[in-house]
Amino acid sequence: MSDILTIGDKEIKNRLFIGTGKFPDKAMIKMVLEESKASVVTVALRRIDMKSSNENILDYIPEGCIVMTNTSGARNAKEAIRIARLAKASGAGNWVKIEVITDNKYLLPDNEETIKATETLSKEGFIVLAYMNPDLIVARRLVRAGASAIMPLGSPIGSNRGFKTEEIVKIMASEIKAPIIVDAGIGKPSDAARCMEIGCEAVLVNTAIATAEDPVSMAKAFSGAVVAGRLAYTSGMGRATEQANASSPLTGFLR
């Protein structure tokens, strides 16, 4: 049975999405994307220079890999909308990860502004993936506003702290029909596997891969973990229980 994630009209084979902000050089990004066979990569428009004589990061993205520009740097809906429109106008496509950050200390997203930006951009035909602070009600509003996928954070960006928001994200994964993609804070392949085991549709990783000593191998490790976690989920994992199950049932005498 095929298990392919669909967002917008695109089929996504590899459920590991890769971020590009922290790599030492662009050639490395290319290697990572090729070797991990990534299907989706996110690039900050703030870093793309279409006019420049210098090489452009987009030149390093393998064919067939979906580019999702992100609105990194936006401090409100208005700026996120402006960045998304610029991205589209400059030929970077209509996939956008909305990222609105009004707190530069922890880099936590502003859910309210994200809803506003999602509403406007999805009406304009963008495929919106909304980066957010995990919250079921906000996720519902984002879906209503037209988001194609919801991207709750696992822990603060760049922290490598792992999947700390699991309880809330798990509720979101079971209640929200749109794909839930855990973005930010994933530090180890096992964190990524855990996200997938509880029913998330994909995981986005940047820091943990980009700052690894061997980013290419680390990307492969994450890729494998995502596949394993997904397979575990679709295979129907046995429920973990607090206590051992008595092998002789307590009500066995009724038979």
Partner 1 sequence: MNFYNVYNKYGNFSFDEFFGKVTDEGIKKTLRTEKLNLNHFLTLLSPGAGGYLEDMAKIAHRITVQYFGKAIQLYTPMYLSNYCENECVYCGFNRKNPVHRKKLTLDEVEKEARFIASWGLCHILILTGESREMSPLSYIKSSINILKKYFSSISIEIYPLTEDEYGGLIEAGLDGLTIYQEVYERTAYDRVHLSGPKQDYMFRLNAPERALKKGMRTVSIGSLLGLGGWREEAFFTGLHAQYLKEKFPEAEISVSLPRIRPSSGGFEPEEKVEDASLVQIILALRIFLPRLGITLSTRECSELRENLMPLGVTKISAGSTTKVGGHTIKTNEGDKPAQFEISDKRGIFEIKDMLLKKGYQPVFKDWMGNG
Report the catalytic residues: 97
Q: How far is the CB of 170 from partner 1 (least distance, A)?
A: 27
Pairing of strands 181-183, 149-152: unpaired
Nearest to 114 by CA among 128, 125, 124, 104: 128
59 binds partner 1 (CB under 8 A): no
Q: How far apart are CA 163 and CA 52, in angstroms?
A: 39
Q: How far is the CB of 75 from partner 1 (least distance, A)?
A: 5
Contact positions with partner 1 (CB under 8 A) in 83-142: 83, 86, 101-105, 107
Q: How many residues bind partner 1 (CB under 8 A)?
A: 31
Residue in the block written with tokens 């957010």: 132
> Which residues are bridge partners to 40 per DSSP?
66
Binding segment for partner 1 (CB under 8 A), chosen from 50-58, 126-134, 138-146, 240-248, is 50-58
**Identity of the residue, 99 or 201, whose beta carbon is nearer to partner 1 in the bound complex:** 99
Q: How far apart are CA 220 and CA 62, in angstroms?
A: 16
Phi, psi of 154 (to 5 degrees): -85, -35
The single residue among 46, 78, 164, 188 that binds partner 1, judged by CB under 8 A, is 46
**Identity of the residue, 9 or 25, whose beta carbon is nearer to partner 1 in the bound complex:** 25
Q: How far apart are CA 62 and CA 35, in angstroms?
A: 10
Nearest to 209 by CA among 24, 85, 82, 11: 24
The single residue among 8, 73, 93, 199 that binds partner 1, judged by CB under 8 A, is 73
Q: How far is the CB of 88 from partner 1 (least distance, A)?
A: 12
**DSSP letter (8 states) at residue 129:** E
Contact positions with partner 1 (CB under 8 A) in 196-215: 207, 210-211
Phi/psi region, residue 181 (left: phi>0; alpha: psi -120 to 50; beta: rest), is beta
Site residues (vs partner 1, CB under 8 A): 21-26, 45-49, 52-54, 73, 75, 82-83, 86, 101-105, 107, 158-160, 207, 210-211
